[in-house]
A and B are shown apart, each in its own frame.
Chain A
Amino acid sequence: MIYLDNAATSFPKPDAVIRAMSNFLERAGGNPGRSGHRLSIEAGRIVYAAREAIAALFSVRDPLRVIFTLNATHALNLALRGIVRPGDRVVTTGMEHNAVMRPLRALERAGVRVIVVPCARDGSLNLDTMRRAIEPGTRRVVVNHASNVVGTLLPIAEIAQIAHAAGALVLVDAAQTAGVLPIGIEAMGIDLLAFTGHKSLYGPPGTGGLVIGEKVDAAIIEPLWRGGTGSRSEFEEQPDDLPDKFESGTPNGVGIAGLGAGVRFVLERGIENIRAHEVELTRMLIDGLQTIPGVVVHGTRDAEKCTAVVSFTVGNRQVSEIGLRLDEEFSVLCRVGLHCAPAAHRTIGTFPQGTVRFAPSIFTTQDDIRVALDAVRKIIQE
């Protein structure tokens, strides 16, 4: 079996992730932060260690500014609903996932002005167009770091500079880049960073988070949910302390244990090494697919300018049929369709039929790519 659906969720997971989760359930199963006994404290230590690993990954000084959520979608909702108010002007791009677009469209109905800056057909963003859109009075800028459809990277540091000059805060959706590209919160000028744990951080599903930059006053962010935190229990009001303000209810301790191990795996492998491996495989995919008559590769077609996500179409052939045959006849697993990102597919010109998407990971080999390319060739040349 060849798994090329890592942009949806990575598989397989490192052994250390599985061991950390099993260890949590076997030996540290207390409720972190709720009680004072050793199992509760041990669970708390594991959750805190994961917070530290993530802080190290994104160069965040204070690990308590890492807020755990169930996934990037929850982190984006927490950020968007927490900092966007009726009357605000919000600028985003034409390459966003529905995890950004759906909350924004709901906010629009509540009186928020949403400006969608169009991107080029390869998913890239013209900075002058962006500069014109982020006019004074813009309150928030929400952008993905890389597209989940074609992998095209957006220039976050430059966008942040433009946004800050206009007095706007920047929220970045790093679902596709955390773990494969270096991300420095401060160096890149990111105010809020949403990430998921189960993709290139190699953690389990049900993990993710929001990082609150040091320059952002957490008081401006409204919590999305309120409840027990194990702290300030004598009060019926939500505490203001981080991370408790945004982490009500028992956390996904076993998942966070796995996420911590996944992030440590990434840090040990080294982001540069992971990136180099993925660029190589992405280049093989782009070049190989383009030699097959009838195949159109979408996006930048430049492995250095995208993540390890390659989308293609074959004339009028149904992508669902290609996906099914890849799975059933060749055991090549990928994702076809719209990838929860209709806006991005409109931008690249593949709406509503969608694309076939190949997304390798650090565990994918060059042989895997050769087999996948052969499979596509056989299906198409019949």
Chain B
Amino acid sequence: MNHGVVLFHTTSAALRAEKILTSAQLVVKLIPTPREFSSDCGIALRFEWDDAVRVKELLDNARVEVAGIHQIN
């Protein structure tokens, strides 16, 4: 399964994103931010890469501030 991660500036934003995406029935998981990315915030949100467009749209609509979205293996 191909995954992506959403990076945030704050934990609160990550938790807010988790709630928004979970209630939209997406499969997501909060994980420690992978080392290769920014260390802005200790946790990142992993999602299924097929949902990338949906994830971006949902977070944009809710005006959640995102530090980056990346594909991971």
**Chain B interface, number of residues (Cβ within 8 angstroms):** 21
Give every chain B residue within 8 A of A239 (Cβ-Cβ): 9-10
Q: A241-B10, A241-B65 are in contact. Are A36 and B15 (CB under 8 A)?
A: no
* Bound Cα distance from A32 to B14, whole angstroms: 12
Cβ–Cβ contact B11 & A64, under 8 A:
no
Whether A234 sits at the interface, judged by CB under 8 Å, is yes
Contact B40 A231 (CB under 8 A): yes
Bound-state Cα–Cα, A234 to B39, Å: 7
In this complex, how many residues of chain A approach chain B with their Cβ under 8 Å: the count is 28
Residue of B16, B40, B41 near A48 (CB, 8 A) is B16
A-B contact count (CB 8 A): 72
| B10 and A36 contacting across the interface, CB-CB below 8 Å | no
CB-CB contacts of A64-93 with B at 8 A, as 1s and 0s? 100000000000000000000000000000
Q: Which residues of A contact B32 (CB under 8 A)?
A: 35-37
**CA gap between A229 and B13 in the complex, in Å:** 13
In the complex the two chains form, is B39's CB within 8 Å of A33's CB? no
Q: Which parts of A222-265 form the interface with B (CB within 8 Å)?
A: 229-234, 239, 241-244
Q: Is the CB of A32 within 8 A of B40?
A: no
Can you list, as one digit per residue, whether each of A32-46 has a CB less than 8 Å from chain B (1) or not (0)? 111111001100110
Tell me if B30 counts as interface (CB < 8 A to partner A).
yes
**A32 near B11: Cβ-Cβ < 8 Å:** yes
Which residues of chain B from 17 to 51 have a CB within 8 Å of any chain A CB?
Answer: 18-19, 30-33, 39-43
Q: A36-B42, A62-B63 are in contact. Are A229 and B15 (CB under 8 A)?
A: no
Most buried by B among A47, A48, A229: A48
**Could you tell me the distance in whole angstroms from the C-beta of A251 to the nearest C-beta in chain B?**
11
**CB-based contact A48/B12 at 8 Å:** yes
Chain B residue contacts of A51, Cβ below 8 A: 12
How far apart are the CA atoms of A48 and B11 in the complex, in Å?
9
Q: Which A residues fall within an 8 A CB radius of B?
A: 32-37, 40-41, 44-45, 47-48, 51-52, 62-64, 229-234, 239, 241-244
List the 10 closest A-B pairs by CB distance, nearest first. Answer: A36-B32, A33-B11, A48-B15, A241-B9, A231-B10, A231-B41, A241-B10, A244-B10, A36-B43, A41-B30
Q: Can you report 22 residue pairs joining A to B where beta carbons are below 8 Å apart?
A: A35-B42, A40-B42, A40-B43, A41-B30, A44-B11, A44-B12, A44-B15, A48-B12, A48-B16, A52-B19, A64-B10, A230-B10, A230-B42, A231-B9, A231-B11, A232-B41, A241-B13, A241-B65, A242-B12, A243-B12, A244-B10, A244-B12
